[in-house]
A and B are shown apart, each in its own frame.
Chain A
């Protein structure tokens, strides 16, 4: 009999180990449907584990789990506090949505012999991301960073059946990702050489006394650059547009909702928890590196998206600008800024995942990559998908009663209390400019006539159900924003140690 209490105690480890163990099972089971079931089971287990950990943490406080019973600083520890529980719930929830969507979508988009193996990679990516977010050891973080990156590369490359540019996109992702991860390792090495420990909590204590040490500064800089690659912050974002465009739709759904967000979370941890005592250094990083980078990212992403015809690429550039918003929240260096960033992390995951799902659904029906013009007149043939897409696009624009509005208001409030007028203006200006790329889609869906009337396109319930649920979430949490806002508030309190 499975001892439930034993499972409860070991959830932090299980939620990483179970997907990793199920991955080879999924590959060995050569029937695509069964592999998908294994993947679904894995992601549902992760959802169960992250939700129960979330409630455990909110009742009892931080959980420190020691892998194998070895105490730190010799052993590896996993830390679940308010912030990481926020992230694991987000990642596993979006993982479940993506997995449900994946079966129909991947069936049509990747070649037959990969159809069961892809779920192995899928589970590896999911497990890697969950580990990335919960681990309390700097080198373990590198390992999970690489696990999730390498499996994401494979997932992206599987889009080669539709478009062989997926291969070069995956290769570039691999190169840039590996260089970034290696930068991270260099940084960890520098920190280790000065402090002699790899445990993040221990590093925090030791670094707080060494903040003027050049090796420490160099190490932190390397770490941040490495994380900026994974989080796709300008100018290290180069891998993202091609990777999201040519990846299979379900892969794009998974990656956009989870991968970059996990890296942004780790970045926030480093900046505000690890460096809680290093005010002048943190200020330099925030004001001179992250702030200009995110401002450029916002403009670049929005303007480039306006001129882009291929929808997946358009959404990828839009993601770049949204990541810029999240980073701007971080650069404010205040607890409300971090809270706004967390709110947008959650909301943007839900919005972008839904958008990629909708576009994926349409692309399956039209059997090709979609341009903005291909959306013309689709509201008549695919009404449910069109309505859901419209709701999510309105959410992206920040219309009241949607989650996009909630994150916009909190971000503006945080910028306001910081007194930074130019940033406020930039945020509202670019929100307005986003109309440029978003409204074309709505116009084409509803107001224009279809180009090719001979195609028989219809709505497929098997595909649109996760999309509809996400669209409903977009509105539900836009009205009943309390769960997300409250969790984000707790998360920012857990990260922002300066308050103490």
Chain B
């Protein structure tokens, strides 16, 4: 029983991070905080993949020159490198948009932006 719960502790971390990230994206009004939440959400996925790739007793998947070394699966690491790059691009784009929004609206709180929009468009 404890083995069943504690034995999958990596998945617990993944789930907690995932839910935290999603919650932040949905519930926070501040746009930067939303980006932070998105990053946390994406990070949880990275952890998910990498922890999947761990082989018991295996070392980091970098060639050491020793024969008969047991390596963890390198493929998830490669995938996650790609995903990290994608995540960085997303974050950069998001932050660039936030800068523009700030210069246009003067605020980066979502509810204030919505209010400004409805005021302007009901005129």
Supplied contacts A175-B25, A189-B45, 12 more A-B pairs, CB within 8 Å: A142-B86, A164-B104, A171-B97, A171-B101, A175-B94, A178-B94, A181-B86, A182-B41, A186-B48, A192-B52, A198-B75, A198-B79
25 A/B residue pairs, CB under 8 Å, sorted by A: A139-B79, A139-B82, A143-B82, A143-B86, A146-B86, A150-B90, A153-B93, A154-B93, A160-B100, A164-B105, A165-B117, A168-B101, A168-B113, A170-B97, A171-B94, A174-B93, A174-B94, A174-B97, A178-B42, A179-B22, A182-B41, A182-B42, A185-B45, A189-B45, A192-B49
B87-123 interface code vs A (CB 8 A; 1 in, 0 out)? 0011001100110110011000000010001000000
A473-488 interface code vs B (CB 8 A; 1 in, 0 out)? 0000000000000000
B46-79 interface code vs A (CB 8 A; 1 in, 0 out)? 0011001000000000000000000000011001
Q: Which residues of A line the B interface, CB within 8 A?
A: 139, 142-143, 146, 150, 153-154, 157, 160, 164-165, 167-168, 170-171, 174-175, 178-179, 181-182, 185-186, 189, 192-193, 198
Nearest CB of chain B from residue A368's CB, rounded to whole Å: 13
Q: Are the CB atoms of B97 and A178 closer together than 8 Å?
A: no
Nearest CB of chain A from residue B20's CB, rounded to whole Å: 14
Nearest CB of chain B from residue A383's CB, rounded to whole Å: 32
Specify the main secondary structure of chain A where it touches its partner.
Answer: helix
**Chain A residues, CB < 8 A from B90:** 146, 150, 174, 178
The complex places the Cα of A153 from the Cα of B38 at a distance, in Å, of 16
**Chain B residues, CB < 8 A from A160:** 100, 104
**B104, closest chain A residue (CB):** A164
**Chain A residues, CB < 8 A from B79:** 139, 198
The complex places the Cα of A170 from the Cα of B75 at a distance, in Å, of 33
Q: Are the CB atoms of A167 and B93 closer together than 8 Å?
A: no
Contact of A189 among B34, B49, B101 (CB under 8 A): B49
Contact of B101 among A167, A175, A182 (CB under 8 A): A167
The complex places the Cα of A171 from the Cα of B102 at a distance, in Å, of 12
**B108, closest chain A residue (CB):** A171
Q: Are the CB atoms of B48 and A189 closer together than 8 Å?
A: yes
The complex places the Cα of A157 from the Cα of B76 at a distance, in Å, of 33
With A167-B100, A167-B104, A182-B42: A175-B93 Cβ-Cβ less than 8 Å: no
**B39, closest chain A residue (CB):** A178
**Chain B residues, CB < 8 A from A154:** 93
The complex places the Cα of A167 from the Cα of B48 at a distance, in Å, of 32
With A143-B86, A167-B97, A167-B101: A175-B117 Cβ-Cβ less than 8 Å: no
The answer to whether the Cβ of B83 comes within 8 Å of any Cβ in the partner chain is yes
**B46, closest chain A residue (CB):** A185
**Chain B residues, CB < 8 A from A150:** 89-90, 93
**Chain B residues, CB < 8 A from A139:** 79, 82
**Chain A residues, CB < 8 A from B48:** 186, 189
**Chain B residues, CB < 8 A from A198:** 75, 79
With A167-B100, A185-B83, A193-B52: A179-B38 Cβ-Cβ less than 8 Å: yes
